[in-house]
Chain A
Amino acid sequence: MSPSAKLQPPVGANDHVEGPAKAPVTLVEYGDYECPYCGEAYPVVKALQKRLGDQVRFVFRNFPLAEAHPHAEHAAEAAEAAGAQGKFWEMHDLLYENQDALEDGDLVRYAQALHLDVPRFVKEMEAHAYIERVRADFSSGVRSGVNGTPSFFINGARHDGPFDLGSLLAAIEEVA
């Protein structure tokens, strides 16, 4: 019954990806937009991407802790709705930069700021058009051994330990 703590499914066509497919390092984060620790990790990932450039491919998967964080699931849906209009990462960044303002009205405001098709965004949010996607990410996280947020996987293996820049870089150096 030992946990495998291996990413499953592997990174695929449905994933939100930043960085080249052929990068030697793939960093996957399971995150929650309302989680303060994920908020701490957000600038760390940015710094890591800047440091490693095209050596790293970054993937974000949704892991909203909906019981603990009442806004997390809607925020995840908003990022997916923005993604459907080609602006996943822009919304992802806005959400992490405004973690204390994640009410539904705020989400619409961010859609406006990103010049999305706002009526479509609102319609899809009201219909929960992307909830299945969000839940599929969550399930894959559970099966991959996500044990809290954020959980990072480096080339498919769960990273247990601190997620400050130095620790993540050291862990990456070990596998790459």
Chain B
Amino acid sequence: MATEDANKILAPGVAAPDFSLHSTPDQLVSLSDFRGAPLIVAFYPADWSPVCGDQMALYNEVLPEFHKFKAQIVGISVDGSWCHDAFAQNRKLHFPLLADFEPKGAVARKYGAYRDREGVCERALFVIDPKGTIAGSYLSPVGVNPGADGILDALEALATKK
């Protein structure tokens, strides 16, 4: 499943770059808010992709499985917070979508997860350990929803390492 760009995203063992992004027009979410528990960071190209195959909608259904590992999840795209707000309400999402909107894609670039040509985020997954180090990362072909099995494998590995 690896792509030719697989080396460009941040690799396991690296400290996850901090971020502070809007989850709603008046609320900021930072990486440091999640210290002490695993965090899944899912970069994705855009809100409003087709319903049943939608990556964020899938993670919404899988939340109980993530929570078994005490893990939280955030989605990040370059869409603005008003757009995220409407999308999250429409899909009844129970986790935050962060707006990498201004300066556009700045956080995605730090993670090596920005597509310059299209001006959107890659479809890239990161599992960050409770201390803020990247425990796993995966760059998906942009048209393929990577599912959640890789995430759960990484969370399981983290849990057994302790």
Q: Which residues of A contact B (CB under 8 A)?
A: 1-5, 32, 35-38, 65-68, 138-139, 142-149, 160
Contacts and interface: CB of A to CB of B under 8 A. Distances in A.
Contacts of A143: 149, 152
Contacts of B2: 2
Interface residues of B, number: 34
A3 B139 CA distance: 10
Which of B62, B148, B149, B150 has its CB near the most chain A CB atoms (within 10 A)? B149
Contacts of B1: 2-3, 5
Contacts, number: 84
Task: Report whether over half of chain B's contact residues are helix, strand or loop; otherwise say mixed.
Answer: mixed
Contacts of B81: none
A68 B61 contact: yes
Task: Report whether over half of chain A's contact residues are helix, strand or loop; otherwise say mixed.
Answer: loop
Contact of A147 (B136, B144, B152): B144
Contacts of A149: 52-53
Given A1-B127, A3-B150, A144-B149, 15 more contacts: A1-B151, A1-B153, A1-B154, A3-B147, A37-B52, A67-B94, A68-B52, A68-B61, A138-B61, A142-B65, A143-B152, A145-B147, A147-B55, A147-B144, A148-B52
